[in-house]
Amino acid sequence: MRILVDERGKKYLLKDEEFHTNFGFIKKKDIESCKVGDVLKTHLGREFRVIKPNVNDYIKLMERKCSIILPKDIGMVIAYTGLGSGQRVLEAGTGAGAAAIYFGNIVGPEGKVYSYEVREDFVDVARANISGFALENVFVKFQDIKGGIEEKDMDLVFLDLIKPWEVIEHLNDVLKIGGYVAAYTPYIEQFQILQRVLKKFNFSQLNTLECILRDIEVKNRGTRPKTRMVGHTGYLTFARRL
Ligand SMILES: C[S@@+](CC[C@H](N)C(=O)[O-])C[C@H]1O[C@@H](n2cnc3c(N)ncnc32)[C@H](O)[C@@H]1O
């Protein structure tokens, strides 16, 4: 898999066809024969570097029909639950497959990710995105998670649903002792209900966090946070089965 990076750092997914941009076009035969590290020139002489995409490059460029989780938030989920190689993750809903791809990449070939999605058109997009990143440890299920969960011995259950509390009662049977529930919700009212339900089903170490990220710009006249920022994405609620 290869992508092109232009002189401003903008990235483009490569297909085996002639490549057109505002900077001119690159011939199909140059695209077909290029290798990672090559610099390709358009007919106007503008340069594009060929690189192998990492998980962030790929997720930014892949197809989507819904909003996806951002690196800052998935980074918190991975760090706060201590997710690592060989672990087992259950997720709902899949959406475009962004969180599933991050998880599959982190748990590696010895780990497994099972992801439930109710919309068939989303399932198709997510499966194509997952196989496009060559992951064989991520399984998308066209199933409503409220209809029951078959998987057991999970290290993490990640919920990106409007009403995540609706599945909490099943999670004691799904999680290992010491396993985590993590839920991503945009509204305060959602995690208030979620925390109540997590307590009712005896989950421990309840914690809700928000990650506010500021990009810093370095200019000749001074260094400071950028004027524009993403004000809010979602709250992350964590709990543990002890
Ligand atoms: C915001 S999207 C998830 C985005 C995903 N986390 C990502 O990063 O690409 C929420 C998804 O949950 C799915 N969904 C909603 N209720 C569900 C349910 N009961 N079972 C399975 N999937 C569900 C929706 O169809 C939608 O695709």
Are 88 and 25 in a shared domain? no
The crossing angle, in degrees rounded to 10, of helices 98-107 and 71-81 is 40
Q: Which of 53, 79, 95 is the last residue of a domain?
A: 53
Are 187 and 131 in a shared domain? yes
Between CA 28 and CA 19 the distance in angstroms is 7
| Model pLDDT for residues 3-36, shown as the tens digit of each residue | 999 999 999 988 888 999 989 999 999 998 999 9
Beta-carbon contacts of residue 43 (< 8 Å; ≥ 6 apart):
24, 25, 26
Are 19 and 93 in a shared domain? no
Instruction: Determine which residue's CA is closest to atom 18 belonging to ligand 1.
Output: 144
State the distance from the centre of ligand 1 to the C-alpha of 95, rounded, in angstroms: 5
Are 135 and 232 in a shared domain? yes
| Model pLDDT for residues 150-208, shown as the tens digit of each residue | 999 999 999 999 999 999 999 999 999 999 999 999 999 999 999 999 999 999 999 99
Q: What is the pLDDT of residue 1?
A: 85
Sheet holding 204-209, edge to edge: 138-142, 112-117, 88-92, 154-159, 175-185, 235-240, 204-209
| Model pLDDT for residues 85-134, shown as the tens digit of each residue | 999 999 999 999 999 999 999 999 999 999 999 999 999 999 999 999 99
Q: How far is CA 177 from CA 165, 184, 206, in A?
A: 20, 22, 15
Structural domain containing residue 134: 57-240
Are 207 and 91 in a shared domain? yes
Closest CA to 56 of 105, 5, 108: 105
Q: What is the pLDDT of residue 35?
A: 92
Are 111 and 155 in a shared domain? yes
Instruction: Determine which residue's CA is closest to atom 21 belonging to ligand 1.
Output: 117
The bridge status of strand 204-209 relative to strand 112-117 is unpaired
Are 194 and 227 in a shared domain? yes
Are 172 and 114 in a shared domain? yes
Are 28 and 67 in a shared domain? no
Q: What is the pLDDT of residue 126?
A: 98
Q: What is the pLDDT of residue 16?
A: 81
Q: Is the Cα torsion angle 63, 64, 68, 70 positive or negative in sign?
A: positive
Using CB distances shorter than 6 Å, the residues near ligand 1 are: 66-69, 92-93, 95-99, 116-119, 122, 144-146, 160-161
CATH of the domain at 199: 3.40.50.150
Are 80 and 99 in a shared domain? yes
CATH of the domain at 26: 3.10.330.20
User: Mean pLDDT over residues 222-232, rounded?
Assistant: 96
Q: What is the pLDDT of residue 56?
A: 97
Are 110 and 205 in a shared domain? yes
Q: Which of 37, 53, 69 is the last residue of a domain?
A: 53
| Model pLDDT for residues 138-147, shown as the tens digit of each residue | 999 999 999 9
State the distance from the centre of ligand 1 to the C-alpha of 99, rounded, in angstroms: 11
Are 63 and 32 in a shared domain? no
Q: How many domains are contained in the chain?
A: 2
